[in-house]
Amino acid sequence: MSRYEVNKIMAYVDGDPEPLEQFSADPAGFVDAWERRATETHVPSLDAGPLTDEERKAIIDLDYGALYAMGAHPYLLIHFARAVECDARGANFATWKEEYRAQVTPHGYPPFFT
Amino acid sequence: MAELVGVFGVPHNPLLWETLRPPYPDDLERAAENFDRFSGLIQDSGAETLVIVGSDHFRRFFFDNSPAIIVGKAERYPTGYPNEIRTFGIEPNEVAGDVAISEAILGTTNLPGNFDLGMSNEWLLDHAYSIPLRYLTPRHDLAVVPIHTNCNMPPVPTARRFVELGEYLRTAIEAAPVDRKVAIVTTGHLATDLGGPKQFLGGASPDAEFDAQAVEWMRTGSIADAIDGCGFERLVNAGNVTLQFMNLLTGLAAAGGRPATFAEGTASRYAAMAFFHWDTPRSGR
């Protein structure tokens, strides 16, 4: 797996209103376009990249525990998750953060270097 | 010659933007008081320029392009990223740069002998810079030289290197061939976890023992102990963004390793916030 590619898509979704809206409305469609763009040019870009099957599933399913366990950067993960769940989908942060905590806690502190 | 008139260590929690405003909630009164105290000290010192040592949060410098230490050299710096505006309500702004002080730190044709610093001629500053500026210089009337250190994307510089950066900044500023009063503002965390099991504990520290030790290093001016106590594993065990504490070591070193005149881990609903201040008698006086 590539922690870099996971970090990249999380930061991109969190970074601007349009990607956040697009991803939150249709995670699978967004990820499909993300991966397709990466095949269309040899030039690296911060708005495209390849994902493994495991990474793709965790991103589309919004499986924060799985992403955390893979070594996604925790700072980017919590901001990506909060953007999607609270900013875009309207969850209450105070209660949602405890759901997030329950998902990541079993995994302790996995390494997050890229 | 420029003069170093003060060194500070402050927090930059972006949640403060919406919560630390009058009327102050009871639990944040002390933080407000500390920021006001430091703002007054900066004003009394006559500082014209703030050199701010912080860590950009993956916005200007990402994993595809991650310098260890990079110094701004621009006439103006805008502040406020779209995600900060959306999630934290941070308002965009703009601050003046101080190119003469940037050049004193970076050199013009060659980099300084002991530091291979990066340079940035255009830089949108994030909350590592905008939060300290909002509370230390509410009128945004001082010039700024931002410095980013990579505390977020391992491999990160060692604690010793942060100390050497502080020593270097003091020397470079005092040698600057301009008439300028300069303060150094460092910003980072005590034990803080984000995205991990120990985040948002409602005011409890993820590692109270680290916090107490860290404040003690500053209160007593114990650089060697601080370096020993700030290995990568120790810092991450205190919370996964505690690596940013190393920016505050730069402050301690910039002040000549002397005991802080003010050192506090300020409690609130958040993880303890670092508030440190050092007077800076001119080197060699």
DSSP string over chain A: --HHHHHHHHHHHHHSHHHHHHHHH-HHHHHHHHHHHHHS-SS--TT-----HHHHHHHHTT-HHHHHHHT--HHHHHHHHHIIIIIIT---HHHHHHHHHHHHGGG-------
Average pLDDT over residues A76-90: 98
Would you tell me the crossing angle of helices B127-136 and B29-45 to the nearest 10 degrees?
80
pTM over 0.95: yes
Q: Which residues in chain A are contacts of B59 at CB distance < 8 A?
A: 15
B233 touches A at CB < 8 Å: no
Contact B251, B186 (CB under 8 A): yes
Q: Is residue A29 part of a domain?
A: yes
Q: Is residue A31 part of a domain?
A: yes
Average pLDDT over residues B217-222: 98
pLDDT of residue B76: 98
Contact A108 B194 (CB under 8 A): no
What are the tens digits of pLDDT across the range B112-128? 988 899 999 999 999 99
Q: Which residues in chain A are contacts of B81 at CB distance < 8 A?
A: 15
Q: Which residue of A has its CA nearest to B63?
A: A4
What are the tens digits of pLDDT across the range B24-57? 999 999 999 999 999 999 999 999 999 999 999 9
Asked if the model's pLDDT at residue B276 lies above 70, the reply is yes
Structural domains in chain A (count)? 1
Q: Is the ipTM of this complex over 0.85?
A: yes
Contact B281, B191 (CB under 8 A): no
Domains and CATH numbers, chain B: 3-278 (3.40.830.10)
Average pLDDT over residues B234-255: 98
Q: Is residue A89 part of a domain?
A: yes
Q: Which residues in chain B are contacts of A7 at CB distance < 8 A?
A: 58, 63
Using DSSP bridges, classify how beta strands B93-96 and B76-79 pair: parallel, antiparallel or unpaired. antiparallel
Diameter of chain B measured on Cα atoms? 52
Q: Is residue A112 part of a domain?
A: no
Phi, psi of B149 (to 5 degrees): -115, 145
B234 touches A at CB < 8 Å: no
Contact A4 B154 (CB under 8 A): no
pLDDT of residue B285: 39
Which residues form the domain of A74?
A: 3-107
Displacement of CA B180 from its chain's centroid (Å): 20
